[in-house]
Amino acid sequence: MTRVTKKTYLNTIPTLGIGVFFLFILLEIFFFVDPSIIRTIPPENSYAIIFLLIFLSACFLLSYLFLNMRRGLLLAIGLTILILFSFLHMISALNIVILLLTLLSFELLLTAKQ
C-alpha cells in the first residue's frame, strides 16, 4: 500500500480545480436559471445538462478525494444514477442495493486484474 503524502494531493490540484469549476457552473444554474429553460434544451424534458454537470463535478472531486480516477469515476456514476432514480421517482432499497453491488463488483473485478 502506498503512503499518501501532502505532495500527492498537491500534484492533483488541477483535478480539484476542474471539479470546483463544474460545481460552480452547476450552482450558478441552480440559483440563476429558470428550470423551464433547462428543460427545453435538447433532449427535451431530460435535464441532461444538470446530470452531466453533476457527473463531471462528482467525478473530478471524488477522484481528487480518493487519489484514484477509477474509484472517483465509479462513485460518480453511482451518485448520478442514484440522483436520476430519485428524479424519476424510482428510488427504492432494492435499486440502491443493486446499484451498490454492481459498483462494488466492478471495483473488485478491476482491482483483481491489476
Domain coordinates in residue numbering, the chain:
6-113
Contacts of 45 (CB under 8 A, 6+ apart): 39
Question: Rounded to whole angstroms, how far apart are CA atoms 54 and 58?
Answer: 6
Kindly report, residue by residue over 80-99, the tens digit of the pLDDT: 999 999 999 999 999 999 99
Amino acid making up residue 62: L
Question: Rounded to whole angstroms, how far apart are CA atoms 57 and 26?
Answer: 8
| Prediction pTM value | 0.89
Kindly report, residue by residue over 34-89, the tens digit of the pLDDT: 888 888 888 887 788 999 999 999 999 999 999 999 999 999 999 999 999 999 99
